[in-house]
Structure 1
Amino acid sequence: MKRVKKSPFIFLTLVGCCFTNLLWAQEEYKDPKNKKGTEVFEGGASYQVKHYPQKTFSKTPKNIILMIGDGMGLAQIFSGMTANGGHLFLENFKNIGFSKTASASNYTTDSAAGATALSTGVKTFNGAIGVDNQKQPLSHILEKAIKKGLKTGLVATSSITHATPGAFIAHVDSRKSFEDIALDFLKTDIDVFIGGGRKYFETRKEGRNLIMEFQNKGYQIAYNLESIRNTTSGKLVGLTAADHNPPMPERGEFLEIATESALHLLNQSKKGFFLMVEGSQIDFSAHKNDTPGVVLEMLDFDKAIGTALAFAAKNQETLIIVTADHETGGMTLLNGDFTTGKVEAKYTTGGHTGIAVPIFAYGPGAAEFCGFMENTDIAKKMMQLLSLEQKP
C-alpha cells in the first residue's frame, strides 16, 4: 500500500483554523447560525423602581461611575421599560443627550473602537483597543485616574478581556488578542476588576499564570459571587467564569452584587474613584435577534443602575453616566403591553447600526452631558470633571 505523504500546508491550515476558532470563541454570539430570531417576550415578574432626587455637595464630582449598556439603543431601553410595567431606574436621570458613535474607520463602529473613544477621547479604527490610527498607545481615563491617586475599577458581565472592558485598560491593535489584553491588566495598579475570562489569565499559551502574579502584587482572588461579596477591603481580582458569564437569568444577581462590591471597595479612597460597569450581553442577545434575551439583559443592567443610584444619592459626590458604545440589531418595537410586560420586536440586522445612542447623567456635573455630542466628548468631559485634564 502506498503511503500518502502528509502535506505541511494541510497541517498549517488545520493549525490556523483551530487558532482562529479559539480567537473567535469569545464572539460566537455574532455567528449567524446562533441567531434565534425570537421576536416576542411574553412578560414576567417586574421589580419596583425607586425615585432618587438629585442632590449634590458641589458642581464637580469626586467620583465617576460610567455604565455602558453594550448595544443599547432606545428600543432596547424601552423594551425593558415596557416589560417592567412602564418604569426603569433610568427615569431618575433628567440630564439626557445623544452620542454619535462612528469610529475613525467606519460609519458603524464596533465595541473596541467605541469603547476606546469613551475611555481615551480619541476615535480610532474598528478592532482597536486603546491605540490610535497609527497603532500607538493612547492614555485611558483609568490610567490618568491612577496617576492622580484615584482608585479604579472595571466590572463586566462578559469576559473582562472583551472589547469594552479591555479598551479601558489595554493597548493592542486587535480586540481578538485576549491574552495580551489580560497581560495589560498587570501593567496597571487597578484596584478591582470583576467579570469572566479566567482562562486568559490562568491557562495561557506561554504557560504563565497571571493569577499568581496578581497574588504576589497583593491582590485577593475570588472565583464566585460569595467570595466577591465577602471581600471588604484591599485590591480584588474577581473572575467568575472561564470565558463569558452565563446570560440572564442563569447569571442571577451577578451585576448588582459585583457593582455594589466594587463601589464598597473603591469608596474607601479619600481622593475619589473611577468605575466602569458594562452590561455586556444586551449586545449578545441583540446580535441573535433574541427579544427575550434583550429584555432580560436590559432589566439586569437597569437593576445595576439602581445599585449605583442608591450609592450616588447617599454619597452626593458621585456622577453617574449611562450610555452605550453603539446600537445592535436595528431593533424596532412593534407592540407591547405595560400591564403584562409583553414586548414584540423586529430587527433589521444581526450586527451593529450607526444610529446615535442616548446618554443619561445624574449627580454633580450631569448638565455637561446634554445635547448631541461625539462619543469622544464623553471621555473628555469625564477627565475634565475629575481634573485629569484641563478644559480647552
Structure 2
Amino acid sequence: MRLKIYHVLALALVFSTLSCKVSTEATTTPNSEVSETNQDKPLNIILLIGDGMGLSEVSASYYYNENKPNFDRFETIGLIKTSAASHLITDSAASATAYATGVSTYNGAISVDQDTVAIKTIVEHLIPRNISTGLISTSSVVHATPASFYAHVKKRRMYDDIAAALPTSNIDFIAGGGDDFFDNRNDKRKLYNELVENGYEVHTKQLPTTVGDKKQAIILAPDGMPKMIEGRGDYLPNATKLALEKLSKNPNGFFLMVEGSQIDWGGHNNEADYLISELIDFDNTIGVALDFAKNNSNTLVIVTADHETGGFTLSADGKDYNKIKPTFSTSGHSGTLVPVFAKGPGENNFNGIFKNTELFNKMLQLFDK
C-alpha cells in the first residue's frame, strides 16, 4: 500500500511539473510579442487615455461615482512605466508619442525622435490599410495627446503647425476644441476651407446628432472644451458614440483614441472637484466603449493614462477613517506607474508591467492579420 502511495505521489509531481511548464510557456510574452495563447485578434481597437489618471484617480471613481464604475467590467489589468527618454517624469507629449509611435523621446516632442526626425504613427500605419481612424479629446485637437497621433513637430506648443497637419491627415473623425488655431491665423491660412477641400465636413457650433459618409472635423471651442463643472455635459460620451457609429461602417475595422484630457488639468490645479468630475465623465465614456464592444465582439477596449498628475491621493480626514479627504503632493506630474485595463480579443497581451512604448507594439501587432 505504501509503495502505491509513493507511485501516486510521484505521478502527481510529474504532472504538476509538466502543467507548470506548459502554463509558463503559454503565458509568457517576450517583450512586445503578441501572446500565442490568444490567437483571436480584434478587428477594432478603442484606446481610451485618461490624461493624468493614476491609481488614486481610478480609486476615486469608487468613492464619488453614484453608479458602479465601469472599471469594474475589466478582468485584465496591467501597469505601465511612463518615463520619457529625456526625463524620469514624462510629459503628455513624450508619453503620447510613445503610445502613438512606439518610440521613447524627449519631453515636449510630438511624434519625433530625439533627433527631431518624424516617426510614423499608428494612424499613419493603419490608414494605408483602409482601416478607419478617429481621435476625440476634451482639450483642443492640437493639444499634445491627440496631436501625437497625426502631427510631427519638435515642440508641443507649435499649435499652428500642428493644426496645419490636420487637413491632409486623412483621419476619418476628429472632435475637440481648438478653433483659435484653425480660424483667424497669423499666416492667413483658412484651415477650415482646406479641411473641406480635403473631403471633410466641418462642424464648429455643436456636436451633430448623426454624420454622413464624409470625414468629420468637429471643432467646438476656442481652445479646450468647457469643464464638466462648467456645463460641458455629455460631449465626450456622445462624441464617442458618434465616432463609433461612423467608424464601425468600415468592414476593414477601425482605431479610435478617446482622451479624457482634463483629469490632468484638475490635477495641475489641485482641484479635487474638477478632477473627480472629469474622471466620472471619462468613466461614463468607458461605458460607451464597453457597451459597443459587448455588441461587437471583434472589438478590443484598452483604457490607460499617459502619466499621473498632482500626486493625488485619498487620505483619511484627520483621524476620521470614514471620511476621505482628497489631497495633492504636487502641481506637476508624478513618476508613478499607471494602470492599463483591457477587454476583448487580445486582452491577455496587456497583463503585467511594461514600458509605455510597448502599448504601440502590442496594438499594431494585433492589427496584423
Normalising by structure 2, what TM-score? 0.86
Q: Which residue of 2 aligns with 1:284?
A: 265
Q: Which residue of 1 aligns with 2:149?
A: 168
Q: Which residue among 238, 241, 251 is the counterpart of 1:257? A: 238
Residues 51 and 305 in structure 2, CA contact (< 8 A), matched pair in contact too: yes
Residues 183 and 192 in structure 2, CA contact (< 8 A), matched pair in contact too: yes
Asked if 1:155 is matched to 2:155, the reply is no
Q: Which residue of 2 aligns with 1:247?
A: 227
Q: Distance in 1 between matches of 2:110 and 2:349?
A: 26
Higher deviation after alignment, 80-89 or 189-198: 80-89
Asked if 1:71 is matched to 2:47, the reply is no
Q: Distance in 1 between matches of 2:267 and 2:323?
A: 17
Q: CA deviation at 1:203?
A: 1.8
Q: Which residue of 2 aligns with 1:267?
A: 248
Q: Which residue among 69, 89, 100 is the counterpart of 2:81? A: 100
AA of the residue aligned to 2:334? T
Alignment map for 1:234-383 (pairs within 5 Å): 234-249=214-229, 250-335=231-316, 343-383=324-364
Q: CA deviation at 1:239?
A: 0.4
Residues 79 and 343 in structure 1, CA contact (< 8 A), matched pair in contact too: no
Asked if 1:205 is matched to 2:172, the reply is no
Q: Which runs of 4+ in 1 moved over 6 A?
A: none
Q: Distance in 2 between matches of 1:326 and 1:231?
A: 33
Please list every run of 5 or more consecutive structure 1 residues that lacks an aligned counterpart in the other structure: 1-56
Q: Which residue among 90, 114, 117 is the counterpart of 1:133? A: 114
Q: Which residue of 2 aligns with 1:25?
A: none
1:294-328 CA distance string (max 9 Å, x none): 11000000000000111111010110110000000
Residues 116 and 129 in structure 1, CA contact (< 8 A), matched pair in contact too: yes
Residues 207 and 235 in structure 2, CA contact (< 8 A), matched pair in contact too: no
Higher deviation after alignment, 374-383 or 58-67: 58-67
Asked if 1:183 is matched to 2:168, the reply is no
Q: SS state of the match for residue 97, structure 2? A: helix
Equivalences, count = 327
1:177-219 CA distance string (max 9 Å, x none): 0011111112321101000001111121100011111111221
AA of the residue aligned to 2:223? D
Q: Distance in 2 between matches of 1:131 and 1:83?
A: 39
AA of the residue aligned to 1:186? P
Q: Distance in 2 between matches of 1:102 and 1:226?
A: 36
Q: CA deviation at 1:124?
A: 0.2
Residues 83 and 343 in structure 1, CA contact (< 8 A), matched pair in contact too: no
1:318-372 CA distance string (max 9 Å, x none): 1011000000000110148xxxx97521111000001110000010011100010
Q: SS state of the match for residue 202, structure 1? A: coil
Q: Distance in 1 between matches of 2:228 and 2:272?
A: 12
Q: Distance in 2 between matches of 1:246 and 1:197?
A: 12
1:13-54 CA distance string (max 9 Å, x none): xxxxxxxxxxxxxxxxxxxxxxxxxxxxxxxxxxxxxxxxxx
Q: CA deviation at 1:233?
A: 3.3
Asked if 1:195 is matched to 2:176, the reply is yes
Larger radius of gyration: 2
AA of the residue aligned to 2:258? V
Alignment map for 1:84-99 (pairs within 5 Å): 84-85=65-66, 87-99=68-80
Q: SS state of the match for residue 230, structure 1? A: coil
1:102-141 CA distance string (max 9 Å, x none): 0000000000000000000000000000000000000100
Q: CA deviation at 1:293?
A: 0.8
AA of the residue aligned to 2:354? M
Q: Distance in 2 between matches of 1:232 and 1:292?
A: 37
Residues 58 and 317 in structure 1, CA contact (< 8 A), matched pair in contact too: no
AA of the residue aligned to 1:289? N
- Residue 329 to residue 60, structure 1, CA distance change in 2 (3 Å): same
Q: Distance in 2 between matches of 1:151 and 1:176?
A: 27
Alignment map for 1:107-122 (pairs within 5 Å): 107-122=88-103
Identity of aligned residues (%): 44
Q: Which residue of 1 aligns with 2:124?
A: 143
Q: CA deviation at 1:90?
A: 1.2
Higher deviation after alignment, 363-372 or 82-91: 82-91
